[in-house]
């Protein structure tokens, strides 16, 4: 399979991207990689590889670029050209750690929606305490969603959980402010009824406070709420970790304490490291478009490449296509 990769996207690009690419090439003999980016910057980091092709682009979509315009205006950017490769069938999937909004807009514009999917969704696998993780979507592709959008998110999440995560009969949960059926806002109340009727293993409403306790394999929500919850988890975990660091650094005594728990603390951090499950993916497009975290290191890029390759290998896009065609949205 052929994967197109944005060599210039992310805080640690191009170094981390190149290293991740080389790791993936070593590990997966069935992938060929097209690496888009500035050849002058990429070349010194690379080694010759029969399954690696570097395609020079002059421009880079920056983190602060306006998402709606970036890909259209910067026609010779690594992100735009990577998306084009997918659009023109020269690559089976693509991956960037760059500007999320630009990748979403560009994915929609250049790769295009699957027929019948009214709104694509951004999905990622978040960690749980038991290490199993769960898929959450939408994380912000659409701030305002209709009930039927969330049903499609559930259908697409279900397919991903089965095919990519290998879960037999994924438990589908609806993120809500209470577990009872009648709880929530107008949106979640409507979605609850629709999900009950759908051909899915719907386990009902799940509360935000229980998310990390592995209450569902796939959690659906609108993009505003999903983005909010994702950032709240990140912010709270970050704040707490920095406070614990202060605790450890408070005195000579606590520093010794810190040394004694160091190994186990590292284990905790890697448990919380959601890049182990890959990046975020745009569901509902004509080909897999994967977004690695902006701060991705080589390992995170490698994991996102693995994720993209599994999505291609298991024909996630085709299965979504046929399932959506068989389950047309009731308007």
By CB under 8 A, tell whether 213 contacts a copy of itself.
yes
Q: Are 42 and 115 in contact (CB under 8 A)?
A: no
CA distance readout (Å), 246 to 199, 242, 251, 255, 271: 50, 6, 10, 10, 21
Q: How far is residue 229's CA from residue 90's CA, in Å, rounded to a whole number?
A: 37
By CB under 8 A, tell whether 102 contacts a copy of itself.
no
> In angstroms, what is the minimal distance from the CB of 33 to a copy of itself?
32
Mark the segment that binds a copy of itself (CB under 8 A) among 43-51, 83-91, 178-186, 192-200.
178-186
Helix, strand or coil for residue 99?
A: coil
> In angstroms, what is the minimal distance from the CB of 147 to a copy of itself?
14
Residue 33 or 211: which CB sits closer to a copy of itself?
A: 211
Q: Distance from CA of residue 89 to its chain's centroid?
A: 22
> In angstroms, what is the minimal distance from the CB of 115 to a copy of itself?
26
Helix, strand or coil for residue 150?
A: helix
Give the x/- contact pattern for a copy of itself in 257-286, rule: CB under 8 A.
xxxxx--xx-xx--xx--------------
Residue 129 or 325: which CB sits closer to a copy of itself?
A: 129
> In angstroms, what is the minimal distance from the CB of 242 to a copy of itself?
7
> In angstroms, what is the minimal distance from the CB of 133 to a copy of itself?
13
Burial profile 49-65: b = 16 or more Cβ within 10 angstroms, e = fewer? eeebebbbbebbbeeeb
Residues 137-166 that bind a copy of itself (CB under 8 A): 140, 143-144
Give the number of residues written for the chain. Answer: 331
Give the x/- contact pattern for a copy of itself in 218-257, rule: CB under 8 A.
----xxxx-xxx-xxxxxxxxxxxxxx-xxx-xx-xx-xx
By CB under 8 A, tell whether 63 contacts a copy of itself.
no
CB neighbour list of residue 101: distance below 8 Å, 6 or more residues apart? 67, 68, 70
Element (H, E) at 69: helix 67-73
Which residues are registered as beta bridge partners of 125? Answer: 135
User: Which chain residues interact with a copy of itself by CB under 8 A?
Assistant: 129, 140, 143-144, 175, 177, 184-186, 188, 207-213, 222-225, 227-229, 231-244, 246-248, 250-251, 253-254, 256-261, 264-265, 267-268, 271-272
């Amino acid at each position: 399979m052929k994967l197109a990769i944005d060599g210039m996207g992310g805080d640690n690009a191009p170094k981390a991207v190149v290293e991740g690419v080389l790791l993936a090439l070593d590990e997966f003999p069935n992938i060929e990689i097209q690496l888009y980016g500035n050849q002058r910057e990429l070349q010194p980091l690379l080694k010759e590889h029969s399954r690696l092709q570097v395609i020079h682009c002059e421009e880079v979509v920056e983190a602060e670029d306006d998402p709606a315009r970036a890909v259209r205006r910067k026609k010779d950017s690594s992100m735009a050209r990577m998306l084009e490769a997918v659009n023109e069938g020269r690559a089976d999937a693509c991956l960037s750690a760059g500007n999320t909004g630009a990748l979403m807009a560009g994915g929609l514009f250049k790769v295009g929606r699957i027929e019948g999917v009214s709104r694509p969704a951004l999905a990622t696998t978040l960690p749980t305490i038991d290490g199993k993780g769960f898929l959450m979507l939408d994380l912000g592709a659409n701030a305002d969603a209709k009930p039927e959008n969330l049903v499609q998110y559930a259908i697409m999440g279900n397919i991903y959980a089965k095919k990519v995560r290998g879960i037999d009969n994924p438990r589908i949960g609806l993120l809500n402010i209470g577990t009872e059926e009648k709880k929530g806002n107008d949106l979640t109340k409507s979605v609850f009824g629709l999900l009950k009727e759908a051909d899915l293993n719907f386990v009902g409403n799940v509360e935000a406070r229980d998310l990390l306790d592995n209450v569902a394999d796939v959690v659906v929500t609108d993009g505003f709420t999903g983005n909010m919850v994702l950032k709240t988890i990140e912010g709270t975990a970050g704040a707490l970790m920095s406070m614990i660091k202060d605790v450890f650094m408070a005195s000579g005594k606590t520093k010794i304490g810190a040394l004694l728990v160091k190994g186990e603390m590292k284990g905790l951090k890697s448990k919380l490291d959601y890049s182990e499950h890959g990046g975020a993916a745009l569901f509902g497009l004509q080909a897999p478009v994967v977004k690695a975290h902006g701060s991705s290191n080589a390992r995170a890029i490698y994991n996102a490449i693995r994720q993209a390759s599994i999505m291609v290998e298991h024909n996630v896009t085709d299965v979504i296509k046929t399932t959506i065609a068989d389950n047309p949205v009731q308007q």
